[in-house]
């Protein structure tokens, strides 16, 4: 839900870009970041109920404990996914799709490279088994966010975003963002 909601920033950015309302592009970007921050409890709260859920589904207590530990780690990648979704939305609205492709490729390569290292261990990296695979995914997702954030910060239009005013919380705009972004996020 939050991933689809923050991705809706692409629509705002594209509309404001077309209307040459550059300052509003900054406001849309910052409010996508606010939605991302506000969604952190929504992303992390299922971790509290993971083990009882796995037990309710009929999994053995040992398996449910392992699954809930893995789920707790993966939840951290959910925050990175939503954060990168906000940055991807900005890039899509600016019609800059290539950096998104590069970010996905880099994140996938990082995940693939870290998987065997973190699962089986190597050198100073301890053997972590299935938890290592979870951590490799988390690291890959946060690398993706870092690459997309870097790409956004390198865009020439960024100087016109009027950042000094954009960070002021505009509650009616935030409600509009959620109102229009919710259906997009809900279908995810």
The DSSP output letter for 20 is T
**Do 9 and 86 contact (CB within 8 A), yes or no?**
yes
* DSSP secondary structure letters along 120-169: H-BTTBPP-THHHHHHHHHHHHHHHHHHHHHHHHT-GGGGGS-HHHHTS-
* Residue 21, token pair as written in the block: 């309302």
Q: What local confidence, expressed as pLDDT, does residue 6 receive?
A: 92
Q: What local confidence, expressed as pLDDT, does residue 139 receive?
A: 97
For every one of its 188 residues, what pLDDT tens digit does the chain have, with 9 covering 90 and above? Answer: 888 899 999 999 999 999 999 889 999 999 999 999 999 999 999 999 999 999 999 999 999 999 999 999 999 999 999 999 999 999 999 999 999 999 999 999 999 999 999 999 988 889 999 899 999 999 999 999 999 999 999 988 888 888 778 888 889 999 998 899 998 888 87
The CB density around residue 154, as the number of other CB atoms within 10 Å, is 10
Q: What local confidence, expressed as pLDDT, does residue 36 receive?
A: 94
Q: What local confidence, expressed as pLDDT, does residue 66 receive?
A: 93
Q: How many CA atoms lie within 13 A of 1 on its CB side?
A: 11
Q: What local confidence, expressed as pLDDT, does residue 60 receive?
A: 95
């Amino acid at each position: 839900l939050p991933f689809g909601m923050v991705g809706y920033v692409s629509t705002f950015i594209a509309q404001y870009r077309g209307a040459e309302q550059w300052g509003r592009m900054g406001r849309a970007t910052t409010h996508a970041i606010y939605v991302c921050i506000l969604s952190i409890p929504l992303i992390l709260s299922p971790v509290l109920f993971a083990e009882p859920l796995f037990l309710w589904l009929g999994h053995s207590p040992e398996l449910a404990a392992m699954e809930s530990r893995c789920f707790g780690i993966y939840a951290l990648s959910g925050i990175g996914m939503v954060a990168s979704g906000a940055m991807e939305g900005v890039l899509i609205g600016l019609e800059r799709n290539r950096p998104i492709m590069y970010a996905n490729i880099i994140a996938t390569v990082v995940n693939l490279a870290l998987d065997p290292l973190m699962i089986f261990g190597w050198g100073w990296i301890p053997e972590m088994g299935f938890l290592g695979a979870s951590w490799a995914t988390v690291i890959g997702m946060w690398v993706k966010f870092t690459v997309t954030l870097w790409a956004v910060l390198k865009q020439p239009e960024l100087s016109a975003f009027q950042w000094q005013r954009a960070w002021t919380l505009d509650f009616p705009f935030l409600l509009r963002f959620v109102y229009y972004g919710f259906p997009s996020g809900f279908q995810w």
